[in-house]
Structure 1
Amino acid sequence: MQTVADSCTVSDTPAPQSDESTHPHATDLESLVGEWLTVPDAAERIGVSLSHVRQLIADREVLAARIGERRVTAVPAKFFDETGPRPELRGTFTVLADGGMGDDEIIAWLYTPDATLPVEGAPIDAMLAGYKTEIRRRAQELAF
């Protein structure tokens, strides 16, 4: 009688790693965004404590992702102005999340170049140029 172990073959190929840092999407997101701020960098930029930045992330005032080899929590730099989180982003985060997107997907959507926008660049660039309503409309269309 053949056992389960007898019917299995051993491969010299290592098993795929489940660590997200080996996933190509993690690297793609990191390069797509370009400029990131770690929690300490964000705190220094806007003059608040580390715990305040962590609370901004928890409250979804800004979104964060794990980047780099060490998988540090970082926020796209364009999510902040000199005084803090850009207020026009929170509603867009909510619309996209309600449409089923996760944080990494939302960040990727905001940073993916789109030639049909009223300004050159990605949705985040259009928002910063004053086209918040147009970007929210497009975000709502994704939800349906």
Structure 2
Amino acid sequence: MSETQDGTDVVEAAVSEWLTVPDVAERLGTDVIKVRALLKDRQLLARRRGERDVLSIPAEFVQDGPDGPQVLKGLPGTLVLLADARYSDEEALRWLFTADDTLPGTPVDALRANRGTEVRRRAQALGF
């Protein structure tokens, strides 16, 4: 895990809310099996947290869409590019939630602001 200057985990400090797999299933209007498939297919990322090591997904990865809540637009493609650059799930989470003054904000903030092209361009450049 990467830490900030004060010793806190970058991802833990940046994520506003963590959702369990059942929470995400409820928000997306689907079942737990579908959410687990999204995780397996790298359409979503999660990390184990807390005393009980609960699989948790950043709430920022779910957004309101025209037909209700959905996986954050641009996230699946960005995750593919990060995987191509040989980023582990943990490294990808850290990259997505680390502030970048040139964006400005974090890559997740940029995806949420519909600036996915710039985020994917930067993710693609990581592979070179």
TM-score between both structures, scaled by the size of structure 1: 0.75
Q: Are positions 1:99 and 2:85 aligned together?
A: yes
Higher relative contact order (CA 8 A, sep 6+): 2
Q: Is the 8 A contact 1:64 1:74 kept in 2?
A: yes
CA contact (8 A) 1:113 1:122 kept: yes
State the shift of 1:111 in Å: 0.7
In terms of fraction of residues, the more strand-rich structure is: 2
**Contact 1:30-1:67 at 8 Å conserved across structures:** no
**Equivalent in the alignment of 2:118:** 134
**Mapped partners of 1:137, 1:24: distance in 2:** 23
Whose radius of gyration is greater, 1 or 2?
1
Deviation at 1:32, TM superposition (A): 2.8
2 CA distance for matches of 1:31 and 1:76? Answer: 12
Instruction: Name the residue aligned to 2:28.
Output: 46
1:131 is matched by which residue type in structure 2?
Answer: R
Aligned residue in 2 for 1:32: 14
Unpaired stretches in structure 2, ≥5 consecutive residues: none
Contact (CA 8 Å) 1:32, 1:108: kept in 2 or not?
no
For residues 1-144 of structure 1, the aligned pairs below 5 Å read 28=9, 29-82=11-64, 83-117=69-103, 120-144=104-128
Whole-angstrom distance in 2 between the partners of 1:45 and 1:115: 31
What SS does structure 2 have at the residue aligned with 1:74? strand
Q: Aligned partners of 1:90 and 1:108: how far apart in 2?
A: 16
Task: Choose between structure 1 and 2: higher helix proportion.
Answer: 1
**How far has the Cα of 1:24 moved from its partner?**
7.2
Q: CA deviation at 1:39?
A: 0.6
* Alpha-carbon distance, 1:52 to partner: 1.5
Q: CA RMSD in A?
A: 1.8
Percent identity between matched residues is 49
> In structure 1, how many angstroms separate the alpha carbons of the residues matched to 2:61 and 2:30?
15
TM-score (norm 2): 0.83
Aligned length, in residue pairs? 119
Moved >4 Å (runs of 4+): none
The residue that corresponds to 1:4 in the other structure is none
- Could you tell me how far 1:46 is from its partner in structure 2? 1.5
Residue 87 of structure 1 and its aligned partner are, at CA, apart by 3.6
CA distance in 1 between counterparts of 2:92 and 2:70 reads 20
